Amino acid sequence: MAIVFWSSHDVFGFRFLLLLTVMYGLMSMLTHSVIYMKFVTPLDHHAPLDRFSEARTVEHVRMLSEEIDGRQEGRPGLKKAAEYIKGQLEIIKDRASSNLRVEIQENNVSGSFNMLFLGHNIALGYRNHTNIVMRISSVDSKDTDPSVLINGHFDSPLGSPGAGDCGSCVGSMLEIARLIVDSGWVPYHPVIFLFNGAEELFMLGSHGFMKTHKWRDTIGAFINVEASGTGGPDLLCQSGPTSWPSDVYAKAAIYPMANSAAQDVFPVIPGDTDYRIFSEDYGNIPGLDIIFLLGGYFYHTSYDTIDRLIPGSIQARGENLFSIIKTFTNSSELKSTYLTNSIGVTANAFNDERAIFSDYFSWFMMFYSRRVATILHSIPVFVFLFMSFMRGRSHSWSAVFFDFMKGFLFYAFGTTLAIVMPVAFSILRLQFSTQAMNWFAHPCLAFVMFIPSSIVGLLIPRIIWRQIPLSQDVSIVKISKEVLSDEARFWGAFGFYAILTSAYLVSGLSGGFMTFFTSISMLTAWISFCLSVKSFGRLSLRTTMSYIIPLIPCVAYGVYFGGFLSQFVIEKMGMMGSLPPPYGYYVPDVIVASLVGILTGWCVGPLMPICGGWLARLSILQFLLHFTVFSLAISCQFFPYATSAPKRVVFQHTIHTAGSSQIMESTYDFSVTDSNSLLFLFQHAPEVAKELNVTSDFSIESALVSQRQDWIAIFPVSFLFSNSVKFSANKDDILKQYEFFPKLFVQNPNLNYEKGSRRVHLELHLGSLEEIWVTVLNITGPLSNWSFADNVLPGTETYGGGPQSFICRLSGPSDSNWTFWLEANSSEALRVDLAVLDQKLVGPAKRLKGLFPDWVDVTAYSSFMSSYIF
| DSSP symbols for 816-835 | S-EEEEEEESSSSPPEEEEE
- What mean pLDDT is predicted for residues 107-131? 95
Sign of the four-CA dihedral 297, 300, 305, 306: positive
Q: How confident is residue 35, by pLDDT bands cut at 50, 70 and 90? A: very low
pLDDT of residue 678 exceeding 90, the answer is yes
Say how far apart CA 532 and CA 315 lie, in whole Å. 46
pLDDT at 604 over 80: yes
SS3 content of the chain, % helix, strand, coil (to 5): 50, 20, 30
Q: What is the DSSP code string of 701-712?
A: TTSEE--GGGGG
Question: What's the pLDDT tens digit per position in 810-854?
Answer: 999 988 899 999 999 888 999 999 999 999 999 999 999 999 999
pLDDT on residue 348: 44
378-401 mean pLDDT? 84
User: pLDDT category, 126, cuts 50, 70, 90?
Assistant: very high
Q: What is the pLDDT of residue 749?
A: 61
Instruction: Output the CA torsion 724→727→733→735 (10° steps).
Output: 70
pLDDT value for 468: 76
Distance of alpha carbon 232 from alpha carbon 227, whole angstroms: 10
The mean-pLDDT minimum among 57-71, 166-180, 315-329, 475-489 falls in 475-489
pLDDT at 33 over 60: no
Residue 345 confidence (pLDDT) above 50: no
Distance, CA of 374 to CA of 646 (rounded, Å): 45
**pLDDT number for residue 9:** 46
- Return the higher-pLDDT residue of 567 and 754: 567
What's the whole-number mean pLDDT along residues 662-673? 96
Tens digits of per-residue pLDDT, 417-467? 999 999 999 999 999 888 999 999 999 999 999 999 999 999 999 888 877
Mean of per-residue pLDDT scores for the chain: 89
Put residue 663 in one of left, alpha, beta given phi > 0 → left and psi -120 to 50 → alpha: beta
Confidence of residue 39 (pLDDT cuts 50, 70, 90): very low
pLDDT in tens, 461-507: 988 887 778 777 666 766 777 888 889 999 999 999 999 999 988 88
**pLDDT tens, residue by residue, 307-341:** 999 999 999 999 999 999 999 999 988 875 555 55
Residue 8 has pLDDT above 50, yes or no: no
CB 781 within 8 A of CB 830: yes
Q: Which of the given ranges, 349-358, 471-480, 561-570, has the highest pLDDT on average?
A: 561-570
Pairing of strands 191-196, 120-138: antiparallel
Q: Is the pLDDT of residue 802 over 80?
A: no
Mean of pLDDT values over 369-393 = 88
Q: In this structure, are residues 579 and 565 in contact, taking their beta carbons and an 8 Å threshold? A: no
Do 668 and 845 meet the contact criterion of CB atoms below 8 Å apart? yes
Supply the pLDDT for residue 509.
Answer: 84
Amino acid at 112: S
What confidence category does residue 111 fall into, taking pLDDT thresholds of 50, 70 and 90?
A: very high
- Give the pLDDT confidence score for residue 43 in this predicted structure: 52
Q: Quick count: other Cβ atoms within 10 Å of Cβ 175? A: 28
- The CA distance from 258 to 267, in Å, is 16
Least confident of 72-81, 85-94, 107-116, 380-389: 380-389
Q: How far is CA 770 from CA 198, 224, 634, 763, 854, in A?
A: 18, 32, 50, 18, 28
CA angle at 629 for the pair 623 and 673, rounded to the nearest 5°: 140
Question: For residue 295, which amino acid is it?
Answer: G
Q: How confident is the model at residue 1 (pLDDT cuts 50, 70, 90)?
A: very low
Sign of CA dihedral 273, 277, 84, 91: positive
Q: Which helix (H) or strand (E) holds 553?
A: helix 552-572
In this structure, what are the phi and psi dihedrals at residue 774, rounded to the nearest 5 degrees? -160, 155
* pLDDT at residue 346 in the model: 41
Structure confidence at residue 289 as a pLDDT band (50, 70, 90): very high
**At residue 417, what is the residue type?**
L
Q: Supply the pLDDT for residue 341.
A: 53
pLDDT value of position 700: 85
Residue of 698, 472, 424, 721 whose CA lies nearest to 586: 424
Contacts of 788 (CB under 8 A, 6+ apart): 112, 123, 125, 808, 820
Give the pLDDT band (50/70/90) at residue 754.
low
Residue 402 reports pLDDT greater than 60: yes
- Measured from the Cβ of residue 390, the count of other Cβ atoms closer than 10 Å reads 11
Mean pLDDT of 355-363: 91
The conformational region for residue 162 under phi > 0 = left, psi -120 to 50 = alpha, else beta, is left
Per-residue confidence band for 350, with pLDDT thresholds at 50, 70 and 90: very low
DSSP for 50-117, please give it: TS--HHHHHHHHHIIIIIS---STTSHHHHHHHHHHHHHHHHHHHH--TTEEEEEEEEEEEEEEEEEE
Among 121-125, 448-452, 536-540, 565-569, the range scoring the smallest mean pLDDT is: 536-540
Residues 6+ apart with CB under 8 A from 456: 417, 421, 621, 624, 625, 628
d(CA 618, CA 464): 10
Q: Give one DSSP letter per residue of 13-33, joined into a string.
A: HHHHHHHHHHHHHHHHHHHHH
What's the pLDDT score for residue 55?
95
- C-alpha torsion 561→563→568→569, nearest 10: 100
Q: Determine the Cα–Cα distance for residues 206 and 488; give it in Å rounded to an integer.
A: 56
| CA pseudo-torsion sign 225, 226, 230, 232 | negative
| Backbone φ, ψ for residue 96 (5° rounding) | -70, 145
What confidence tens digit (pLDDT) does each residue in 700-724 have? 888 899 998 999 999 999 988 988 9
pLDDT at 37: 44
pLDDT of residue 424: 97
Residues contacting 385, CB < 8 A, separation 6+: none
Please tell me the predicted confidence (pLDDT) of residue 267. Answer: 74
**What pLDDT, on a 0 to 100 scale, did the predictor assign at position 801?**
72
Strand 219-227 versus strand 147-153 pairing type: parallel
User: What pLDDT, on the 0 to 100 scale, is given for residue 547?
Assistant: 95
The predicted structure's pLDDT at residue 12: 45
The mean pLDDT value for 27-32 works out to: 48
- Contact status, residue 295 vs residue 232, Cβ threshold 8 Å: yes
Greater confidence (453 vs 284) lies with 453
- This prediction has a pTM of 0.91
- Alpha carbons 770 and 742: distance in angstroms, whole number: 11
Question: 573-597: per-residue pLDDT in tens?
Answer: 999 989 888 899 999 999 999 999 9
Strand partners, 645: 642
